[in-house]
Amino acid sequence: MPTITETAKAFFEACETGKGWDGCAAYCHPNASFAAQSEPLVEVKTLKDYADWMKGLLVFMPDGKYEVKSFATDGERNNVCAYGVFSATHTGPGGPMAPTGKRTVTDYVYVMNFEGGKIRHMTKIWNAPWAMKELGWA
């Protein structure tokens, strides 16, 4: 059985490369919850919906990529934190408006809480207004 660190890394890779729920489900409880205090994600309450949101995001920002800055496991609390930097340019169809051609480089953190070796809940910590301003959406 993989460790929670290995599972978190596999989930992170699948989610951040736009695999959607189909690519992320094996690492999560079927009804895993999601939370973020970020305007674009206010309606997203499940990890399934978030994984699919990320898949959709990469349609209108096809050059989207991430760089992992830190990955840490807290065995006592049964969670894994991943700090990354996402960069992308709004060039594709879709999104909140016509392509702006503008780019963002934005920091974010995932806190993944585990139960029974799978993700039960994830919180995303992200300064969405900063990214939206860089992309010309605000």
Alpha-carbon distance of 58 to 136, in angstroms, equals 17
Domain 4-134, CATH: 3.10.450.50
**pLDDT tens-digit profile, the chain (138 residues):** 899 999 999 999 999 999 999 999 999 999 999 999 999 999 999 999 999 999 999 999 999 999 999 999 999 999 999 999 999 999 998 888 899 999 999 999 999 999 999 999 999 999 999 999 999 998
Domain ranges of the chain: 4-134
Structure tokens at 94: 């879709």
CA distance 82 to 114: 14
pLDDT computed for residue 94 by the predictor: 83
* pLDDT reported for residue 113: 98
Asked if 24 contacts 53 with a C-beta cutoff of 8 angstroms, the reply is: no
